[in-house]
Amino acid sequence: MIEEINKVIGLQEKLKKEYGIIAIDYSFSLGKTVLLGDLQDFLIIAHEPIREVKLVGLQKDHKLITEIDDVDFTVMLSEKEYQEYKNSRATNTTKEKSGTL
């Protein structure tokens, strides 16, 4: 059993180093969830749609979620990080729209 646990820990360390994944969870009620450590790692793998969830009573006020092959990839953001994310999305959308006119 210890050998198998050490294999899992080794794989978790590799996923953290290569992809910024800090936690993986699976439950029958919530399904498969992967937590990424920062917004940049999330945006590298994320695709539309990105769901936004407002959290209450936590240090990180917002959660972004994108689903890939039945796995929810999430990142938790502070209010400041979330506002920076929203501003960057608005800027990108404006640039895209102005480029097509």
What would the pLDDT profile of 16-26 be if each residue is shown by its tens digit?
A: 999 999 999 99
Regions of the chain with pLDDT less than 70: 91-101
A 10 A CB-CB count for 85 gives: 19
| Residue 93: predicted pLDDT | 53
| Residue 11: predicted pLDDT | 95
Whole-angstrom CA distances from 92 to 52, 63, 96 are 18, 20, 6
A 10 A CB-CB count for 99 gives: 7
- The SS3 of residue 29 is coil
**Where are the domains positioned within the chain?**
2-94
| Residue 88: predicted pLDDT | 86
The string of pLDDT tens digits covering residues 68-84 is 999 999 999 999 999 99
A 10 A CB-CB count for 24 gives: 14
| Residue 65: predicted pLDDT | 96
| Residue 60: predicted pLDDT | 84
